[in-house]
């Protein structure tokens, strides 16, 4: 069986009697009234002449929290970049909010892989958030603009998103004096400030401790539910996300399977996707461990 056949078999299995698990949405009735925010139709991406993944078809709908999982080297971040229009597809189609994926879509909020702030960084958290609103402006804002209606509206919006992410207690501190979890909340506020319909987060849990991973995951779910924002999030570890996410996109061996986590992260599904025996184990705390997958190619020129 080829890798493509394995992926197709996995998709076919998931879309049996329990509903089409390759389509985002907890139920067919709810999915029928939701807006499709991201759609990939037989999409493929090649970098440096090498195909990263191919024939990927999936949908992400409004208000859904979708995690992108898989080992290093399979193209998780590349999937986000294809959605953002930063990487062109070599085949198929990527549609975002009803249009072909392209750069500069103001309806997308984006948080790239974690940026480290030096402890001596003096810029305040509130100013970091404000950069998401007017950071594309050149020069120093005019005093009149800060005092006028636009300035008042900007300050109100900054305060609103800071409150939304629960960062009011430390937003006026220098960002370098905030903890990792506090910094991530402020950066999520920055990504939300323009009221996006899609929030794209590349490894927002990376380098956070277990407590902050759970806290940030719960925050993202809260934003999903209260704001109706679709979330597409890359992560290495499924466990902090399990209580909060709606769907999983699992990438491996050049293909992808999408569905509810309890259907996708199973020994049978991952074995079909990888084309080699895979075990999914649970420890005493109920944490999932995927074992048996082959190592990804060691080529640092390729995206993760």
239-252: pLDDT as tens digits: 999 999 999 999 99
pLDDT score of 29 more than 60: no
pLDDT band at 28 (very low <50, low <70, confident <90, very high): very low
Residues with Cβ within 8 Å of 45's Cβ and at least 6 positions away in sequence, in order, are: 51, 52, 53, 54, 75, 78, 79, 82, 87, 88, 89, 90
pLDDT at residue number 274: 87
> What token pair was written down for 71?
């080992």
Dihedral sign (CA 20, 23, 28, 32): negative
226: how many CB neighbours lie within 10 A of its CB?
Answer: 10
User: Residue 111 — pLDDT band, cuts 50, 70, 90?
Assistant: very high
pLDDT of residue 158: 95
- The predicted structure's pLDDT at residue 147: 63
Confirm if 264 and 21 have CB atoms less than 8 A apart.
Answer: yes
pLDDT on residue 290: 86
Among the ranges given (8-12, 121-125, 146-150, 173-177), the one the predictor scored with the smallest mean pLDDT = 8-12
pLDDT value of residue 207: 84
Contact residues for 222 (Cβ-Cβ < 8 A; gap 6+):
none
> What's the pTM value of the predicted model, to 2 decimals?
0.82
Domains and CATH numbers, the chain: 1-107+197-304 (3.40.50.300), 117-195 (no CATH)
The yes-or-no verdict on residue 257 having pLDDT over 80 is yes
> For residue 45, which of 88, 97, 98, 1 has the smallest C-alpha distance?
88
Among the residue ranges 40-44, 183-187, 247-251, 280-284, the one predicted with the least confidence is 280-284
Q: Quick check: 231 pLDDT over 70? A: yes
Give the list of residues 6+ apart from residue 135 with CB closer than 8 angstroms, or none: none
> How many Å apart are CA 195 and CA 160, to the nearest integer?
11
Q: Mean pLDDT across the stretch 42-71? A: 95
pLDDT tens digits along 200-212: 999 999 989 999 9
Residues 108 and 96: beta-carbon distance below 8 Å? yes
In the predicted model, is pLDDT for residue 31 greater than 50?
no
Residue-averaged pLDDT of the chain:
84
């Amino acid at each position: 069986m080829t890798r493509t056949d394995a992926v197709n078999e996995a998709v076919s299995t998931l879309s049996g009697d329990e509903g089409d698990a390759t389509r985002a949405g907890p139920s067919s009735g709810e999915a029928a009234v939701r807006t499709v925010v991201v759609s990939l139709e037989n999409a493929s991406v090649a970098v440096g002449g090498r195909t990263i993944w191919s024939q990927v078809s999936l949908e992400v709908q409004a208000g859904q929290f979708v995690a992108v999982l898989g080992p290093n080297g399979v193209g998780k971040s590349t999937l986000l970049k294809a959605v953002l229009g930063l990487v062109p597809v070599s085949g198929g189609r990527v549609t975002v909010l009803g249009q072909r994926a392209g750069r500069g879509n103001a309806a997308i909020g984006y948080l790239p892989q974690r940026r480290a702030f030096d402890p001596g960084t003096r810029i305040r958290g509130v100013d970091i958030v404000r950069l998401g609103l007017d950071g594309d402006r050149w020069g120093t804002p005019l005093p009149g603009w800060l005092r006028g209606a636009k300035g008042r509206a900007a300050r109100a919006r900054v305060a609103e998103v800071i409150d939304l992410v629960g960062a009011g207690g430390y937003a006026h501190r220098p960002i370098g004096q905030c903890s990792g979890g506090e910094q991530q909340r402020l950066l999520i506020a920055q990504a939300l400030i323009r009221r996006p319909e899609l929030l794209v987060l590349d490894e927002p849990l990376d380098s956070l401790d277990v407590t902050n991973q759970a806290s940030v995951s719960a925050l993202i779910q809260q934003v999903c539910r209260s704001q109706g924002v679709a979330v597409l999030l890359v992560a290495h570890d499924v466990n902090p996300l399990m209580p909060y996410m709606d769907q999983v996109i699992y990438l491996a061996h050049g293909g992808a399977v999408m569905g509810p986590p309890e259907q996708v992260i199973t020994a049978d599904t991952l074995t079909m996707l990888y084309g080699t025996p895979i075990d999914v184990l649970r420890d005493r705390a109920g944490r999932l461990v995927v074992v048996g997958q082959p190592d990804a190619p060691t080529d640092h020129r390729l995206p993760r």
